[in-house]
Amino acid sequence: MSENFKALIINQDGENFTREVKNINNEFLKHGDVKVKVEYSSLNYKDALILKNGARLVKEYPHIPGVDFSGKVVESSNAKFKEGDEIIATGMRIGENFYGGYSQYAKVSGESIIKKPDSLSLRQSMVLGTAGFTALQCAFTTKQTREVLLLGEKVNDVIVTGASGGVGSIAVMILSKMGCSVTAVTSKDENKEYLNALGAKNIVKTSDLSGESRPLDKGLYDGAVDTVGGNVLAKVLSHIKHSGIVAACGNASSIKLNTTVMPFIIRGVKLWGIDSVNASVKRREFIWNEASKLIDFKKLEESIKEIGLEELLDIYPKMLEGKTSGRYIINVNK
């Protein structure tokens, strides 16, 4: 392992919050029992919040952010992993309580990573990253949970909010691949053609769903994936048909939800929270092994921007302002 390597370090001294790409050495890495040569990481909304001011998620400084990464094991004292194993790291408080993936090397607990399936490359795993992992969980919940686990009717019509973002765009592709007719909700007119290419049959403007919702409205959708929360989620709930499942995974619009019990007690609608951070290893392995069957990486590459650690400092504010679309992956060796 190289003695010195590059990492993005955030630090806080009183009111002064800093972000800087620096050269550090092995002694800086203090967590975990598996050392990994990082190849790729990605930029998620949570990463952008942490890069802004720590988002009250980081407890100790200085800190290496980056909530996901892929790479190859170079040293391990964990019996589950050996030198040369290719791994995927998402969630489990990596990049929050523990140093993350915005570094050329990382040291993590073997209990927080999984071996990469042969069906994915290291780059493809971060083309998906936490956003793709979350989107896969949402899609399985909205469609498979109702049809298979709950023995419900077939899920045909679904709606995806925040469809221009990382989670939303991948969810559109997955649900379309699963055979659903997908309505994509976006605030960006310029992304309509791209969302149609991903499989969206209909496009709805976010502003059409941002107003105050009725307790129940016309049932239009068998299920939904919501990435934004707030009034949009409340409006979506009022449009879900009987027994539909709404997978909620984000709060880009608001953490508040002003709704009534009517969708739940009249139509049996289920609001299903998706937590990508604490998913079990068994669930992670299942989701990642299913990924290659549901993702058209050639098509997804059209929305991928590959950047280096230095460029990341210019991009994250734009994500917080809603001025980005698609996925950003970070080549830490660029």
Look up the CATH number of domain 131-273. Answer: 3.40.50.720
Say whether domain 4-116+296-331 belongs to CATH 1.20.1050.140.
no
Predicted local distance difference test score (pLDDT) of residue 211 = 79
Is-cis flag, bond preceding 317, omega within 30?
Answer: no
pLDDT, mean over the chain: 94
In the block, which residue shows the tokens 């990994």?
36
Long-range contacts of 90-93 (CB under 8 A, 24+ apart): 90/129, 90/130, 90/133, 90/276, 90/284, 91/67, 91/130, 91/133, 91/276, 91/277, 91/278, 91/279, 92/277, 92/278, 93/277
Mean pLDDT on 17-24: 96
pLDDT score recorded for residue 191: 87
Residue of 321 and 35 predicted with greater confidence: 35
Percent of the chain at pLDDT > 90 equals: 87
pLDDT class of 118 with cuts at 50, 70, 90 = very high
Contact 174/239 with Cβ under 8 angstroms? no
pLDDT of residue 323: 85
Residue 98: partners with Cβ closer than 8 Å, 6 or more residues away: 31, 32, 92, 108, 109, 112
Higher pLDDT, 307 or 322: 307
Report whether pLDDT(1) > 80: no
Q: Cite the beta strand spans of 77-214 per DSSP E.
A: 86-90, 105-108, 113-115, 157-160, 181-186, 200-205
Is the pLDDT at 314 greater than 70? The verdict is yes
The pLDDT > 70 percentage for the chain reads: 99
Predicted TM-score (pTM) of this structure = 0.91
pLDDT of residue 54: 95
pLDDT recorded at residue 121: 97
Taking alpha carbons only, the member of 217, 24, 224 closest to residue 143 is: 224
Does position 326 have pLDDT exceeding 80, yes or no? no
**Boundaries of every domain in the chain:** 4-116+296-331, 131-273
Instruction: Provide mean pLDDT across the span 109-136.
Output: 96
Strand (E) positions, 144-249? 157-160, 181-186, 200-205, 221-226, 240-248
What distance in Å separates the CA atoms of residue 128 and residue 113, rounded to the nearest whole number?
16
In this predicted structure, what is the pLDDT of residue 212? 81
Mean pLDDT of 280-309: 93
Average pLDDT of the segment spanning 237-261 = 94
Q: Residue 327 pLDDT > 90, yes or no?
A: no
pLDDT (average), residues 138-147: 95
